[in-house]
């Protein structure tokens, strides 16, 4: 999910708006006036579900490590779980489904080759390696996965939201409304739906992070926020495919020249002009989906993103759950819990 070619474009045209820093330095960007105040971050949960499950079926360990690393740096998370995607994403979801079917077909083909007595042992080893890689691409996040993580977060006193729509939009609107200071995700379209600061390339093994600051992007590109949204729609997004032939460079040139999508279409699309507008090119709906969210409820603005005090025996219950669901030693678990709860 994202804006086509946006990351490469920004690295070329607005490199100063992308910073490679450590988590300990993010406060200098997100809240330079009060370096001691905890920062709050909304997290697009599904992104990290797939990352953690890909590496380790015991995914709770990945989330525990993520929470620990954030809390060590005085960053309090709120996790947002996916709800139902909008109908505008149907084509994107169909493509993803077809891709997974290709993986399944290739696995079946490799399994058949593995049974062929004429294949060499070396070939069978290579087939097995390829099969293992393909099977990891077929990872699904189940209801049981979600329920287990929610239970763990409740046990840890970490806030979460079960969205009625896609989680990334809620993450952005939480940032837009000041409930959180920044968003953690790898999806670039969060830069268009309200996120002020986007953290990407998070790994539990390092403090390094990529930071995208929207205000600095707009300054570097000399665009208003409305023009920024129109530019990203022209690039092509999950809500609306691009106009054939118009890439990110062309999209930027035309927005700079004409100011908005309506005027771009009027001047460069149509009979006798450079581009042909696709059927059902509903940029207005894409614009609406980026700017508003009917499933962002006012009650979200009252959420206090903080870690509540522990009740009696809660720490023991957390420790038991982690010992059961992680590969970490009890000593490693205890050391991490000290950072989270200041014990």
Based on the fold, state whether residues 65 and 206 are members of the same structural domain.
yes
Based on the fold, state whether residues 54 and 98 are members of the same structural domain.
no
Provide the pLDDT for residue 128: 79
Based on the fold, state whether residues 234 and 280 are members of the same structural domain.
yes
Provide the pLDDT for residue 17: 93
| Mean pLDDT to the nearest integer, 261-271 | 94
Which residues have CB under 8 Å from 243's CB, separation 6+? 234, 269, 275, 276, 277, 278, 281
User: How large a percentage of the chain has pLDDT more than 90?
Assistant: 71
Based on the fold, state whether residues 118 and 190 are members of the same structural domain.
no
Whole-angstrom distance, CA of residue 107 vs CA of residue 132: 9
24 part of a folded domain: yes
Whole-angstrom distance, CA of residue 261 vs CA of residue 246: 12
Q: How many domains is the chain partitioned into structurally? A: 3
321 part of a folded domain: no
Tens of pLDDT along 211-253?
A: 999 999 999 999 999 999 999 999 999 889 899 999 999 999 9
271 part of a folded domain: yes
pLDDT tier for residue 147 given thresholds of 50, 70 and 90: very high
Strand order in the sheet with 160-162: 18-22, 208-213, 197-200, 182-184, 39-44, 75-81, 160-162
Last residue of a domain, which of 194, 217, 240?
217
CATH number at residue 69: 3.40.50.1010
Last residue of a domain, which of 186, 217, 248?
217
308 part of a folded domain: no
Provide the pLDDT for residue 136: 64
Provide the pLDDT for residue 86: 60
Based on the fold, state whether residues 86 and 132 are members of the same structural domain.
no
| For residue 137, pLDDT beyond 80 | no
pTM: 0.86
Tens of pLDDT along 173-187?
A: 999 999 999 999 999
Phi, psi of 278 (to 5 degrees): -65, 155
Provide the pLDDT for residue 139: 74
Based on the fold, state whether residues 24 and 147 are members of the same structural domain.
yes
Based on C-alpha coordinates, what's the Rg of the chain?
23
Per the model's pLDDT, the better-predicted residue between 308 and 226 turns out to be 226
103, burial (CB in 10 Å: exposed 0-12, middle 13-18, buried 19+): middle
Based on the fold, state whether residues 161 and 60 are members of the same structural domain.
yes
Tens of pLDDT along 94-133?
A: 666 677 777 677 777 777 787 787 788 777 777 777 776 7
Based on the fold, state whether residues 211 and 73 are members of the same structural domain.
yes
Average per-residue pLDDT for the chain: 90
| Mean pLDDT to the nearest integer, 322-328 | 95
Based on the fold, state whether residues 102 and 192 are members of the same structural domain.
no
Phi, psi of 328 (to 5 degrees): -75, 150
pLDDT tier for residue 339 given thresholds of 50, 70 and 90: confident
Based on the fold, state whether residues 78 and 209 are members of the same structural domain.
yes
Provide the pLDDT for residue 54: 84
Based on the fold, state whether residues 69 and 185 are members of the same structural domain.
yes
CATH number at residue 248: 1.10.150.20
179 part of a folded domain: yes
8 part of a folded domain: no
Last residue of a domain, which of 83, 101, 136?
136
Domain of 260, in residue numbers: 223-291
Contact, 169 vs 1, CB < 8 A? no
| For residue 1, pLDDT beyond 60 | no
Based on the fold, state whether residues 108 and 151 are members of the same structural domain.
no
33 part of a folded domain: yes
Contact, 86 vs 1, CB < 8 A? no
């Amino acid at each position: 999910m994202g804006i086509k070619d946006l990351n490469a474009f920004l690295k070329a045209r607005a490199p100063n708006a992308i910073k490679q820093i450590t988590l300990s330095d993010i406060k200098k960007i997100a809240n330079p006036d009060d370096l001691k105040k905890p920062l709050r971050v909304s997290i697009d949960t599904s992104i990290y579900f797939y990352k953690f499950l890909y590496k380790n079926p015991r995914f709770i360990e990945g989330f525990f490590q993520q929470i620990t690393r954030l809390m060590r740096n005085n960053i309090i998370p709120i996790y947002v779980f996916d709800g139902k995607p909008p109908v505008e994403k149907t084509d994107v979801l169909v493509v993803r489904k077809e891709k997974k079917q290709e993986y399944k077909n290739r696995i079946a083909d490799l399994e058949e080759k593995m049974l062929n007595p004429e294949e060499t042992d070396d070939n069978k080893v290579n087939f097995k390696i390829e099969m293992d890689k393909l099977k990891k691409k077929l990872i699904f996040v189940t209801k049981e996965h979600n329920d287990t993580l929610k239970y763990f977060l409740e046990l840890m006193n970490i806030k979460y939201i079960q969205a009625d729509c896609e989680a990334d939009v809620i993450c952005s609107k939480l940032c837009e409304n000041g409930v959180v200071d920044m968003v953690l995700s790898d999806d670039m379209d969060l830069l268009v739906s309200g996120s002020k600061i986007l953290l990407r390339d998070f790994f539990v093994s390092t403090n390094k992070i990529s930071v995208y600051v929207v205000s600095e992007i707009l300054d570097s590109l000399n665009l208003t926020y409305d023009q920024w949204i129109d530019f990203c729609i022209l690039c092509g997004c999950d809500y609306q495919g691009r106009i054939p032939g118009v890439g990110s460079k062309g999209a930027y040139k035309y927005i700079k020249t004409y100011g908005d999508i309506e005027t771009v279409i009027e001047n460069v699309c149509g009979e006798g002009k450079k581009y042909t507008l696709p059927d059902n090119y509903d940029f207005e709906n894409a614009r609406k989906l980026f700017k508003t969210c009917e499933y962002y409820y006012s009650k979200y603005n009252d959420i206090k993103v903080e870690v509540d005090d522990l009740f009696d025996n809660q720490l023991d219950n957390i420790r038991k759950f982690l010992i059961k669901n992680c590969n970490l030693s009890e000593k490693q678990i205890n050391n991490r819990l000290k950072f989270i709860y200041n014990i």
